[in-house]
Amino acid sequence: MSEQAQTLTEVPAEPEPEPTSVDAAAESPVPAPAPRRPRKPRRVLWGIVRWTAALLVCGGAGAGAALGITAMERTEVPGLATESDGRWEYPELSLPALPAGAPRPFTDGNDGEVHHADLRKLLLPAPAGATADPKLDGGWVGVDSHLAMLAEKDRREVKEYLADSALRHVAARGWTTPDGTTTRIHLLRFSSVAFSEAYRDEVTGGLFRGERLPAGVESAVLDQSTEDIDVPNVAPYAYQEEEPYGPEQTRWSFVQAGDTLAVITLSRKDGVPTVPFQQTVALQAQLLG
């Protein structure tokens, strides 16, 4: 907002009357002129000027203070500082470049809803302060890396299913934040949206039968914390380990976006915090949308 300059216009004094000789007035037969309207004393005018100037200065100072507070961050204003809500500090995100002539996954002419961008560049980066998992460094991984996140009793059957499902690539990244939360993200790209949706239905359909659960999880309930995530064409499904859980709790989400399915798994001793779980799911969904 641009500042508007305030100018103070000086009030001109009225001209002094011409001096009149008493003797001349007495000798002149011409009647005396009508009396003039009495003028305000000069000191009253100067008082008005001073008060006007004072009001303008105070008004300008008040407006400047208001603008200054508006421009400041909330935490910089005394008395208005707020504590962190627990969210992680992620780097600024941007969509990767596409090969020449390749469309985005949800545009006209891309019936298979294919992600033509490098799958590895669609992985959410680790937040500030996190320790990267050297085995899940954002590169390509084998299908066994994804299967290792499942209960051992389900791995063989799921592996056979994936072998018949036109799975093309798997990319993964993992990290651990200072609060002890471990995060693992696997992106599975299939040859079309139909295969991606079929695998999503396969893994989610068995959850409440005690199948297709993450390693160490005995039973699951729906996690409603991600219901407000609204990314066009992207559908997140979230679950959490049912209490009572063991030494740590697991919360996970399947984010289905066209030909790609993201499997996001967070675990932490004494429970996974809700805010970073929501944040991580939402940001990964945006990268795939």
Q: Kindly list the domain boundaries of the chain, sorted by start residue.
A: 41-82, 119-288
223, pLDDT greater than 70: yes
Per the prediction, the chain carries an average pLDDT of 79
Mean pLDDT of 31-35: 46
Mean pLDDT of 12-31: 40
Write a three-state SS string for the chain: CCCCCCCCCCCCCCCCCCCCCHHHHHHCCCCCCCCCCCCCCHHHHHHHHHHHHHHHHHHHHHHHHHHHHHHCCHHHCCCCCCCCCCCCCCCCCCCCCCCCCCCCCCCCCCCCCCCCCCHHHHCCCCCCCCEEEEEEEEEECCHHHHHCCECHHHHHHHHHHHHCCCEEEEEEEEEECCCCCEEEEEEEEECCHHHHHHHHHHHHHCHHHCCCCECCCCCEEECHHHCCCCCCCCEEEEEEECCCCCCEEEEEEEEEECCEEEEEEEEEECCCCHHHHHHHHHHHHHHHC
Report percent pLDDT > 90 for the chain: 64
Residue 123: pLDDT band with limits 50, 70, 90: very high
- Predicted pLDDT at 83: 52
- Predicted pLDDT at 84: 66
Q: Is the pTM of this model over 0.75?
A: no
Mean pLDDT of 261-277: 97
Report percent pLDDT > 70 for the chain: 71
Q: Which residue has the higher pLDDT, 4 or 69?
A: 4
- Predicted pLDDT at 135: 96
- Predicted pLDDT at 11: 37
Each residue's pLDDT tens digit, 48-85: 444 444 434 434 434 333 333 233 333 333 333 445 68
Q: Which CATH number fits domain 119-288: 3.40.80.10, 3.40.630.30, 3.40.1000.70, 3.40.30.10?
A: 3.40.1000.70
101, pLDDT greater than 70: yes
